[in-house]
């Protein structure tokens, strides 16, 4: 009998994220910065990035819930759960969020080994309606996700860092 392989967190997120993104794109006529486009085969093409759509953006604003980070601003990520964000290496960003469910959350920048990059992480906070900002995050190529360390399987989004 073949042995059943288990999925690691990154593989699971890749598959569920691709399925969610495909569903999202199918319902959207216009592409925003947080969205991708179907290629000729109907597959989501995550390689193409409209860099101009991300230029001038220096703050991201989210609703934090156990289910997901839901984008509020900029407009291109509004209403998108765990949107993929594009950052430019060496540029400085703020990640602001509001606690929408009263559960304890934080925000952190992780590398491919799921370690915090350059101490970019906040303390947890659990008061509904409270806001928190992770300020002055300098984008580096080692950053791959923004994540709530209390809900790492549901509150996690990909970061794509464009190098100069």
The β-bridge relationship of strands 108-110 and 116-121 is antiparallel
CA distance 21 to 28: 11
CA distance 11 to 95: 25
CATH code of the domain made up of 52-162: 2.60.40.420
- So what's the pLDDT on residue 49? 81
- So what's the pLDDT on residue 37? 44
With a cut of 70, list the residues of the chain below it in pLDDT: 1-47
What's the whole-model pTM score?
Answer: 0.73
Domain boundaries, the chain: 52-162
Provide the token pair at 13: 């997120």
- Taking the CB of residue 88, how many other CB atoms lie within 10 A of it? 17
């Amino acid at each position: 009998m073949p042995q059943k392989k288990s999925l690691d967190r990154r593989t699971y997120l890749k598959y569920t994220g691709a399925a969610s993104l495909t569903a999202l794109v199918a319902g959207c006529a216009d592409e925003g910065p947080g969205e991708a486009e179907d290629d000729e085969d109907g597959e989501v093409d995550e390689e193409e990035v409209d860099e101009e759509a991300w230029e001038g953006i220096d703050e991201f604003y989210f609703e934090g819930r156990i289910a997901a980070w839901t984008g509020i601003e900029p407009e291109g990520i509004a209403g998108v759960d765990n949107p993929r964000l594009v950052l430019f290496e060496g540029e400085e960003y703020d990640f602001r969020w509001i606690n929408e469910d009263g559960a304890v959350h934080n925000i952190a920048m992780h590398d491919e080994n799921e370690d915090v990059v350059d101490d970019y992480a906040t303390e947890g906070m659990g008061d509904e309606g409270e806001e928190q900002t992770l300020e002055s995050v300098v984008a580096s190529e080692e950053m791959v996700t923004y994540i709530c360390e209390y809900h790492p399987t549901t509150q996690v989004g990909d970061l794509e860092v464009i190098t100069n």
